[in-house]
Each structure stands twice: as C-alpha cells, then as structure tokens.
A and B are shown apart, each in its own frame.
Chain A
Amino acid sequence: MTRQESETTFGRVNERLSSVLRKYSDTQFGKYALIGPTLFVVAVLMIFPTIILLSYSFNPYDQGAIQAGSTLAHYVRAFTTTLYQDTLVRTIKIAVIVTIIDFVLGFPLAYAAVRKGGWMGKLIVIATLAPLTIDLVVRSFGWFILLNGTGVINSTLMELGLVTRGNAPQLLFNETGIIIGLSHVMLPFMVFPIINVMHTIPHDLEEAAQNLGANRLTVFTRILVPLALPGISAGILITFVVSLASYVTPALLGGGVRVIPVVITETFTSTSNWPFASALSMILVGVALLVIIAYQRVLKEMEGVGGV
C-alpha cells in the first residue's frame, strides 16, 4: 500500500505522534498525562495559594506590619468585633434571602422553559442567558438607573401618584439594592441546573400523578421537587456560595452598607493588614469547602461532568 504522506514532514510527525498516542492510550501514564495539566493548574493556582492564604491569616499584624509567629487574633476579631459580626451576619442574611428569591423565581421559570418549549421556552432561555454574558458593572448600572431616587421605578410610582418625592422607597445604597442586584446576577445559576435536570423528568409522571388524583401542589411537592432535587440543590448551593463571595454588585449598589468581600478588598487595598484580609477570606473558603463537599454528593447523583 502506498502512503504518500509518510514522505512529508506532516507524515513523519503524524506517524511519530500516533505511535506515541497508541503506546500510551490505554495506560495509567496516558490517562494521567491527559488530566495532569489541568490538575496541576487547579492544584498550583487554587490549592497552594489557599494554603498560603491560610498561613497569612495566622500571622500577627502589629504597628502596620506583618510579624512572624502565629495567632488566632484575626479570627477572634472577625467574630467578636460588633462591626465585623454585623457584616458577617448581613452577608449571610443577604445570601440566604437572594437564594430564596431566586428559587421562588427560578423554579417556575425553569419548569416553564422545559414544559412550554417552543418560542416561550427559547425566550426564557435567552432571557436567562443574556444577563449572564453582560459585565457585572453594566448590570449594576442598569439597576442604578432603575432603582435610584429619581430612577425608573420611583419616577413611575410618583407618576402614578402612589408615592411622593418625600416617601418614595429607598431602593438603592442599602440591603434592598444589594438583594435586588444579586438576585438578578444569581438567577441564571439557579435556573440552568434545574432546567438540565427537568429535561430528564418525563412529563408522563406529572400526568400520571394527576390521573391518580393529585392536585398541582401535590404534584409539585411529591413528584417534581424530589426528582429535580439534584438540580435544585446544585442551584441553591451555587447561588448561596457565589452570593456570599460577590464583590462588584454590593460594592456598587450597597452604598455604605458593606458585605464581607467589600471589607476584604478595602482592608487589603487601603491598609497593609493582609493577615486580617486573609482571615476574612478563609471564612469564605470554609463555607465554599463545606458546599464543595456537599456538592460532591450532589454530583454523584448527577453522573459525570455533563450533568451539572
């Protein structure tokens, strides 16, 4: 058989590379060679830096400089100072409220996207996907236009005579602003995992349940929620943890109301107290780790990388 290619450079590279691929394709070396670079990147760029972050969080900070030794002072300060206590509680409260709002809005939306299908399903998917692709600053700017004192919402309310300039609700530069902005940012993270799992639930099941006399509420609580649980829990966990660690939206819409990531950034950029910034960050890491461990359980049920 004549293989003209073998005389060209490509032909030689081709033969060489293919014989290497063949030699290692079904070996331990082969599979770790494939996954190795990515594991290396994750280990070197996530795990090691986190360990260094952890070590910084124990470094004493005195007279404007980082000192040798180890101390729990930064954690004590974070959990016992009223200012930081309040910030921690507020950050968690906001993340919880955002998660609840997004589930209440996101589940019906995901359900409609899958069951309605057609142009309505497409519209929902596009409407959910579009904000995800737009810069956070731009989205916060959109909310600024909508929510500020003379913004779209208050102007409209005043136009309708429902409120006056004096008693118009303050929707911006407070927790409300952060919650609205973050709910918008996080909604796609709630909707897509639920859409994915909803695709795998046959519609017949709901009809069968209704046929057996179940009303809509029963179908929802007894059929949909249990079957969609892997998607729901993934959505809830992601929404909660990412809300907790969000910086841009709270920084732009919160005004003087601050959350932990805002405090971390301020501490890091305006003081040299890296240890305290590190300790606050480690609290976020701790929550993320808990969620990752829980998420592994969820992942197990969702089978493979394509599921989530």
Chain B
Amino acid sequence: MDSADGAEIAIQYDGVTKEYGDLKAVNDVSFDVKDGELLALLGPSGSGKTTTLRMLAGFEKPTEGTISLAGDDVTHVPTHKRDTGMVFQDYALFPHMTVGDNIAFGLKRQGFEKGEIQERIDEVLDMVDLQGFADRNPRNLSGGQQQRVATARAIAIEPEVMLMDEPLGALDKKLRDQLEVELTELQADLGITTLYVTHNQEEALTIADRIAVMNEGEIEQIASPIEVYEEPATEFVADFIGDTNFLEGDLHETDGRVVLDIEGTEVDVNAAGVPANGGAVFVRPEKMNAREAGYTDESVNTLPGTVTRRLFLGSKVRYFVDIGRNVVTVDDSNKHGTTLHEPGDDVVLSWSVHDTRLAHG
C-alpha cells in the first residue's frame, strides 16, 4: 500500500501486551510508524524492545492488542504472509547456501523466474557494495560482510517494512559507525519504513527519525532524537540517554518559579511547576562551564564546587566537581584561551536556566 491511498501510517501497535506466564514482557504498548520513517526501539536488555519487534514479524503472538501493517490488522496473520524483511542480530544466514541462494530464498517463495532472481541478486548485492559475492559461502565472510548480506537478503523481497534487531550489535565500533551511515542512506534511498531495535543510544540518536525509549515493557517516551536528548520525559530517559548530572536538593515553587535548593544555593529550574510525585532535576555535562572561583552572573545558574579529577580528552576536558551533595561531571570544550583547572581548585559552575531540566520520576 502506498501513500497515494492516503495511508500515512505504515505500522500501528494498539494496546499490545505480551505475557510469558506472570511476566509482562510488553505492557500495553501503542505507537505508529509513518511511511518511510525509521523508528528506533531503544532500551536496556529485558525492556521488551525485541519482543515488540518480533511480534510484528509474527514470531510471537500478542496476548492482547492489535498490530497493523499498512492499515491491515496482521495480529493473526502467519509470519510468511506478512510483508516484512528482517535483519537478525546474528544475521541468521543459511549456512548451507551461498550468498546468492540466501538472497534467492525469499524471491523463490514469491514465485519469481530464474532470470529475474539473478537480476535481483546482482541488484541488491550492488546496493550493499558486495558485487561478485553471490557464489561465496556466508561462513567465510567477515562480520561486516555478513551483515551486508543479511540486509541485502531482507531488501531483496521489497518488503513493506524492514525489521532490524540489533543489526550492528556484533560489530566493532569503527565498522558500526561506517555501517550506521550506509544503512541510513540505503533506508532513505529506498524510502522503506523501518523498525530498528538497539540498546546502543548513540546508534539510535544517529540513525533514527524518532526514538521510542522502552523500559520494563513500557514506552517511556517516543520523540525525535533531539527531543529525547534535550527534553527527556522521564528520569529513566534522562539517565539512559547521554551523560546526565542529577542535582540533589529541595525542589519547591516560589513566586511562580520552580527552584531547587542545594545546601542553601538556589538554582532555577526550567519547568512550569513541581509534579505531584516529585521529579529529578538534571543538567547535561556539556551544558555546564567550570569558571574561576568568585565568578558571578545573575542571568544564569551558578554553583560553587571543588575539582576532584580532571580528564583531558583532546577535543574536550572533563572535570569531576564536588558540589557538596554529589559529584557532577562537567565537559568544557577545548577552545583557544580556555584555562585548565587543576584537581583541588575551587571553581564556580555556570549553566543556563533553560538547560536546567526537570524529568518526571
């Protein structure tokens, strides 16, 4: 189904729950994926993200709720009749077949002719930059090459949606970075709707149009990478994505302002009010600056502290600063004219009120 029919929603989960005995692996999950969009399901292991993906492929049956593909309810449709192409974590390449036969497997099931299949194999191998690999045995390929074959095999059948289960999880960092770029380009070129499971937050931030952060079977937040990073909806999201300094103190509202009192120093918080069940105030390390002791600026939040350790990381300098109740991390960019503080130095931390966020508990 294409968007000319007016169907903009490619995938729809509606109140989907999956129970294994007493364990709720996925708990009442609802979300949509738009046509051509890449949605990353991000979460720690055991958060239910893989189960969520596998239910779309048809490997698991939801206990409750419905899943729709291109507007059709597929909850009870068998796997082989669902128009999805999956890339498995360990690639699941058939070891008793050549690369070409692996790719041909799905095409044969669709009833293509020999000549068409051959053309299609060459075409997709070309897309993943593996020209001439059709007769190779997948066992003799490197991890990166196996990953490309797995991708080629999935796109060969031109599925409605692509499902990727930690597709880069088994690769080393450098190769992962490279393939992240290639995968995103391929996905954008083909315009293929993709559900992408990963536990790697950097990967999710890099490739996804939107990220659904999962924890204990539920979706904590679903938003663009920037929003998930800058405006995390919950304490879990704030903690799971990126480095975070949680500031401990007494949170209250005075004169319409939300204020955090840290051992007598008041810090303004960028929030409309204090939520009933409290919340966690946090600042990202790169939003903070470590300044000389005695620095004052009324327009921003400031807090005195003592440097306990310094890590020189090349492009940036990372300080660990003791602010009394806890130790925070501060990343200063290594620009010309930046003075380096030494461990033991008293400093004043400064950051804008805008970056002082409140996450719900």
Contact = CB atoms under 8 A, between A and B. Distances in A.
- State if A and B touch, Cβ cutoff 8 Å: yes
B80 to A, nearest CB: 8
A5 interface: yes
Interface string A1-20: 11111000000000000110
A1 B78 contact: no
A22 B83 contact: no
Interface string B80-91: 100100000000
A232 to B, nearest CB: 35
A5 B111 contact: yes
A187 B32 CA distance: 65
Nearest to B79: A22
Nearest to B81: A1
B70 to A, nearest CB: 13
Nearest to B110: A1
Nearest to B61: A26
A2 B78 contact: no
B78 A22 contact: yes
Nearest to A22: B78
B109 interface: yes
B59 to A, nearest CB: 11
Contacts of A4: 111
Contacts of B109: 3
Contacts, number: 13
B307 to A, nearest CB: 45
Contact of A19 (B78, B83, B110, B111): B78
Interface string B101-143: 0000000011100000000000000000000000000000000
A22 B83 CA distance: 18
A26 to B, nearest CB: 8
A18 B78 CA distance: 10
If over half of B's interface residues share one DSSP class (helix, strand or loop), that class is named, otherwise mixed; here it is loop
A3 B110 contact: yes
Contacts of B110: 1-3
Contacts of A2: 110-111
Interface centre among A1, A4, A5, A19 (most CB of B within 10 A): A1
A84 to B, nearest CB: 56
Nearest to A6: B111
Contacts of B83: 1
A259 B83 CA distance: 69
B111 to A, nearest CB: 4
A22 B79 CA distance: 10
Contacts of B111: 2-5
Interface in A119-165: none
B310 to A, nearest CB: 41
Nearest to B157: A1
A142 to B, nearest CB: 41
A87 to B, nearest CB: 55
Contacts of A3: 109-111
Nearest to B78: A22
B69 to A, nearest CB: 13
Nearest to A21: B78
Nearest to A23: B78
Contacts of A5: 111
A305 B78 CA distance: 31
A162 B316 CA distance: 90
Contacts of A18: 78, 80
A4 B111 CA distance: 6
B168 to A, nearest CB: 29
Nearest to B109: A3
A269 to B, nearest CB: 51
Contacts of A19: 78
A1 B159 CA distance: 11
A22 B111 CA distance: 22
A149 B90 CA distance: 65
Interface string B55-85: 0000000000000000000000010100100
B114 to A, nearest CB: 13
B333 to A, nearest CB: 48
Nearest to B58: A22
A202 to B, nearest CB: 25
Interface of B: 78, 80, 83, 109-111
Given A1-B83, A2-B110, 11 more contacts: A1-B110, A2-B111, A3-B109, A3-B110, A3-B111, A4-B111, A5-B111, A18-B78, A18-B80, A19-B78, A22-B78
13 contacts: A1-B83, A1-B110, A2-B110, A2-B111, A3-B109, A3-B110, A3-B111, A4-B111, A5-B111, A18-B78, A18-B80, A19-B78, A22-B78
Closest 6 CB pairs of A and B: A4-B111, A2-B111, A22-B78, A1-B110, A3-B111, A5-B111
